[in-house]
Structure formats: structure tokens, C-alpha cells
Amino acid sequence: MKNNYFKLILFFALSSFVFSCSNEDEQQAQKPTIDKVELGLGNNEIGVIGQDFHFNAEITAGDKIKNVEIKIDQISTETYSKVWSHQIIWEQYAGAKNTVVHKHFDIPADAAEGKYSFLIVVTDQNGTKLEERRTLTIYAPENLPLDLKFDFGIDAVDSDFAPIKVIYAQRSIYDSESYKSDEPINEDEFLAPVVNIAAIKGDGKMYCLIINKKHNHRPETITAIDFSKAVVVDVWEHKNIQQSQLGSNMFDFSTNPLTILYPAIKIGATSDKNLPSPNAVSNLKKWESGQYYVGFIYHNTTYNMTLFHYGEIKVQMK
């Protein structure tokens, strides 16, 4: 009888313990999650001292986000010219359940070259924390495999490529200069985007795009282009260039001597200049009066490096 009594007590005690543990597991705070992390332009995990750096991450909170932090720290097994680290905390995402952290910031001028630990920390308001670690390589500009700079101009031209007016210009190869006209480019005029890139090598491809600003679509990589919203003005590529040189969508490098190209699209055209098959300029892409983004995306596949830039212009339809 006593044995049965003690067995019953033990049964209830164990049941209570299992039930308590189960409750604790159910009540344990859920951690945030992170997806689609991108480091560097084109997600190449490269940073350049004194130049723009791209960071992207999609975050879902367990409860609500408290803050998002990144830490760039030196690795104990690596050698550096000096001690250096960098930290940024973003508080503006506090209270959000889901968010896309898309940031551009300059790698500080006092950074030391080398391979770094790139730590992403998401702190949740429920007290949990998520840490994800990646690797980042920081270069001085002069030591990059390619130090990409550009000159970009948007002109209104006639059907013979004769200039009508300059709409936009941004230069950075030899000096820094910016220009933007308030004049619109009109229906039946031709929009000519001229891109010079220094210095190119190996294989690369570039798209020039015009996108209605209302779509809020400014892709930073070729793979991110939404062709249902973007009108392709020009596609240009180069292959197997052995030594670094100036590249331009005004020239075809596959011919000898170089063939002069005339990149342009008529405002009001029914199809764009996509290759190998043009796309219809219709539906979301139909021409309208208003503000447009015009820009280019260049990706060097040999060195996995990306360059992009956008200007804004006004289109006036009849």
C-alpha cells in the first residue's frame, strides 16, 4: 500500500515537472530572424576606404525591433597596419515587426586595409538578440583589382544624335562636377545616356535605364532590375580586356578599329533597347509626363564589382 502511495506521489511530481517545462518552452521569447544580407556593392563583400558601402538585410522581429547594429572588427589571425574598428547602431527601426535595412555609408578614411569580421546584431524588445557574422575585405582605392569611377551624362539629341540640350551630368573620373537642368526632355526627342567608366578589365556588362519615379524602383544590381517597370535605353558589354582601360558605351570594343555607337531612345517609343529582344513600353512602363530616374548599372563579372548611378529628369509628353 505504501509503495502504491509513493508511486502516485512520484507520478504527480513528474507530471507537474514536465507540464512546467512545457509551459516554459511555450513562453520562451522568440528570437528575430534575418534574411537576404548583402555586403558591398553587388554583394561582393568588399569595402573601399573613403568610398560608399552598401548594406542590406531583411529582418523579422520576434516581437518588435529595438535596434539594429553592425560591428566591423579585426580578426586575431590577420595582420593590419594599425588597430581599427567601426560600429553603427540604427535606432529608427524601433517598434517595427518587419523591415528592410538598406543603408549606404562611407568606409571611414582612417580604416586599415585587410580582412574583417562583419557582425550584424538585431536586438528585440522582448530581450532576445540575433547575431550573424560575415567576412568583409577592406581595400585602399589604389589597391583595388579595379578602381571604378564614372562620368555620366544625359543629353537630349535629335534622330542624327546631334545635341539639343544637356539634361544632366555627373563626373568623377578626372574631377568632380555635377549639373542638372530644369528643362524637360520632350516627346519625340531622343534621350542619350553616355557612360564612361575608368578603369575596366576582363568581362563586364552595363544597363542604362529610365524608370518612372512613381514606381520607387532604383535597382543597384543587374539582377535586381524589374523589367516590368524599367525601360532599357542601352545595353553594353565588354569581354576579355587584358589591361585596364577607359570604357564607354559610345564604343564597341569587339571591333578593330573601334566602332562608334550612338546610345539613345526616342521619348514615346513603343519598344525599348533591351537585348537580345526589345520589350514593349506599355502598362507600368507607358510614357507619362513627370519625373523619371535615369541611370546605369555596371557589373564586372571577372572581379565581381558593381557600379551604379542615377540622376533625375523631367519628361514632357504632348
| Mean pLDDT, the chain, integer | 91
The confidence band for 4, taking pLDDT boundaries of 50, 70 and 90, is low
Domains of the chain in start order, with CATH, are 33-143 (2.60.40.10), 149-316 (2.60.40.3880)
Q: Please give the distance of CA 166 from its chain centroid, rounded to a whole number.
A: 28
Residue 50 has pLDDT above 60, yes or no: yes
Contact assessment for residue 194 and residue 249, using Cβ atoms and an 8 Å cutoff: yes
Neighbouring C-alpha atoms within 13 Å toward the C-beta of 97: 1
Residue 242 has pLDDT above 70, yes or no: yes
Contact assessment for residue 121 and residue 68, using Cβ atoms and an 8 Å cutoff: yes
Share of the chain above pLDDT 90, in %: 84
